[in-house]
Amino acid sequence: MRQHHRVSENLAELADAELVDAMAAGDTRAMDVLYDRYSRAVFSFALRLLGDRAVAEELLQEVFFRSWRQARKFSEGKGTFITWLLSITHNMAIDEIRKQNRRPQRADSADPVLLLTNMTDGAVPVEDQAVFRTVRDQIATAMTLLPETQRSAIQLAYFSGLTQREIAELQGEPLGTIKTRMRLAIRKLREHLVDQGVELQ
Amino acid sequence: MTHQHPGPDASHGAMNTDCTFFQENAEAFALDVVEGTERSRMEQHMLWCGPCRRGLAEIRRVTDLLPFLSPPALPSPSAKARLFERIAEETTDDAESIATFSNPWIPTTPVDRPERAARKGVQTGAWQRWIAPGLIAPLVICLIILSAWTNSLRNEVSMLRSAEASRASAAVGAPPQSDMQLYAFRPACEKCKEKQAAGQFGGNPEGSIGVVVAWDLDPNEKHQVWCVDSQGQKRLVSDLEVEQTGSVFQAVSFPEPIGGYEQIYVAQHDGTADPAAELMVAMNEEHEVDALDATPGDPVTD
């Protein structure tokens, strides 16, 4: 059993799992630390998916509120805390997009690589940039190496919430072609990440 | 993602058509673009197929990085304040008298938990004098509600039994069965410190229809009924329609007679194929609440 009694000593130095345990025991100070650690990543992703700051902030609040209520269910065996948060964010945002049947941005203007190329980190603290910059650079580089059709497939599926059938209709391609494209895209992405030395095991 | 199929897995022998289907769609599944029956088929398959489950986990290590393609952005400070206000509201609503509340956004006076007080040798008599009536009153109310629910459930089960028995009689010309059982769901979430959900499950062990009655579920979460069959395989049975009050009263159709299952449980849908049970009943244990032994159509009394 992890020792969440140490929480009072120095919260900021504790690992995520220990803070989640403390949070499950009702300690809002642990929640405070986790929020400071990951709210930017969650908000950035929410904003990327929804395209609206106000809605993204609502989602941010909901995601962390759920993590507070469901902290006891978090299992390290099923991934890291940030992965868990981002998974909740994605599920809720895509549900919302599909429910509203709205697409946040046109596919061609929302290419993740273009967005990252043109972005500025000016508003983000230096330490925050350092935490996520490496992984962002790696995934962005891997994406640039994909053929445009495969990159587009990931974009439409993951960021715009379109189903395979909808993508097939939108692109005027057979469903089977889209399925194959999706499969190849993720496999190629994996290869490119591994080539960069990203540990995926 | 190819694998030799050792099975649960071993009993399944070589890789089967479901594995092939799963592999063809695993990337799309990880991207959450598989729908309807195809998605259900994959979720079912994952429950027993370890190699496919592990294959999907490998794919998710890639898709889990996709969120980082988002341009960095900062939420406003008020977003954090709103979040902690919301948590404070819930915390004070649920456990105002016993929690050590340490919200950094709202100053509060710390209150010692009773166990801490005991460790420190603090007298707890005054605390107990005040807290005991506070605990007993809700308990009495819960017992009254439980009694009402039970009576209601009995009537509902009786109606279901009558309908089922009538259908069976019509089909085989045999006398109707009358062995409906009520089972108490037991809380399966041992770490839960907040208000526990509770409920009962009713049904004919020989039949495939059961009734789930539960309360104090989280209405903001999606709940499902799962079962564990005699082979130990977990299967999703049905979604539950939980009311805003946190209660649910729903008939559920099982693929097999309910008496043949090891466990039937209610779980919060968490997007995985192995959600933690929140309420659980072990079908083979001697713990039924009641046995309805009246013949169909007879009035059900306490």
Rounded CA separation A66/B269 (Å): 13
At A138-186, the pLDDT tens digits run 999 999 999 999 999 999 999 988 988 889 999 899 999 999 999 999 9
Question: pLDDT band at B143, cuts 50/70/90?
Answer: low
- What are the backbone angles phi and psi of residue A66, rounded to the nearest 5°? -65, -40
Q: By three-state DSSP, how is residue B227 classified?
A: strand
Q: Using a CB–CB cutoff of 8 Å, tell me whether B36 touches chain A.
A: no
pLDDT at B93 over 70: no
Q: Using a CB–CB cutoff of 8 Å, tell me whether B77 touches chain A.
A: no
- Three-state SS for A39-101 is HHHHHHHHHHHHCCHHHHHHHHHHHHHHHHHCHHHCCHHHCCHHHHHHHHHHHHHHHHHHHHC
B30-40: b or e for each residue (b if 16 or more CB lie within 10 Å)? bbbbbeeeeee
Q: Using a CB–CB cutoff of 8 Å, tell me whether B11 touches chain A.
A: no
- Cβ-based contacts of B90 with chain A (< 8 Å): 69
- Cβ-based contacts of B190 with chain A (< 8 Å): none
Residue B238 C-alpha, separation from nearest chain A C-alpha, in angstroms: 20
pLDDT at B3 over 70: no
At A47-83, the pLDDT tens digits run 999 999 999 999 999 999 999 988 887 876 667 899 9
Question: pLDDT band at B65, cuts 50/70/90?
Answer: very high
Rounded CA separation A96/B160 (Å): 37
What pLDDT score does B9 carry? 41
At A35-45, the pLDDT tens digits run 999 999 999 99
B137-149: b or e for each residue (b if 16 or more CB lie within 10 Å)? eeeeeeeeeeeeb
Classify the phi-psi angles of A178: left when phi > 0, otherwise alpha if psi is within -120 to 50, otherwise beta. Answer: alpha
Q: Using a CB–CB cutoff of 8 Å, tell me whether B64 touches chain A.
A: yes
Give the number of other Cβ atoms within 10 Å of residue B28's Cβ.
Answer: 27
In this prediction, residues A90-119 reach a mean pLDDT of 61
Rounded CA separation A92/A80 (Å): 18
- Whether A64 contacts B84, CB under 8 Å: no
**Can you state the angle between helices A28-50 and A81-100, rounded to 10 degrees?**
40
Residue A65 C-alpha, separation from nearest chain B C-alpha, in angstroms: 7
Cross-chain CB nearest to B31 (options A69, A112, A157): A157
- Whether B67 contacts A141, CB under 8 Å: no
Give the number of other Cβ atoms within 10 Å of residue B22's Cβ.
Answer: 23
Q: What is the DSSP string of B140-156?
A: HHHHHHHHHHHHHHHHH
pLDDT at B4 over 60: no
Which residues make Cβ contacts (< 8 Å) with residue A178, sequence separation at least 6? A153, A164, A167, A168, A171
Contact B66 A39 (CB under 8 A): no
Return the DSSP state at B283. Answer: T
Q: What percent of chain A has pLDDT over 70?
A: 78
Helices (H) and strands (E) counted in chain A, each on its own, are 9, 0
Which residues make Cβ contacts (< 8 Å) with residue B87, sequence separation at least 6? A28, A31, A65, A68, B103
- Tell me the ipTM for this assembly: 0.82
Specify which residues B212 forms β-bridges with: B201, B250
Q: What is the token pair recorded at B294?
A: 């009246």
Rounded CA separation B264/B281 (Å): 5
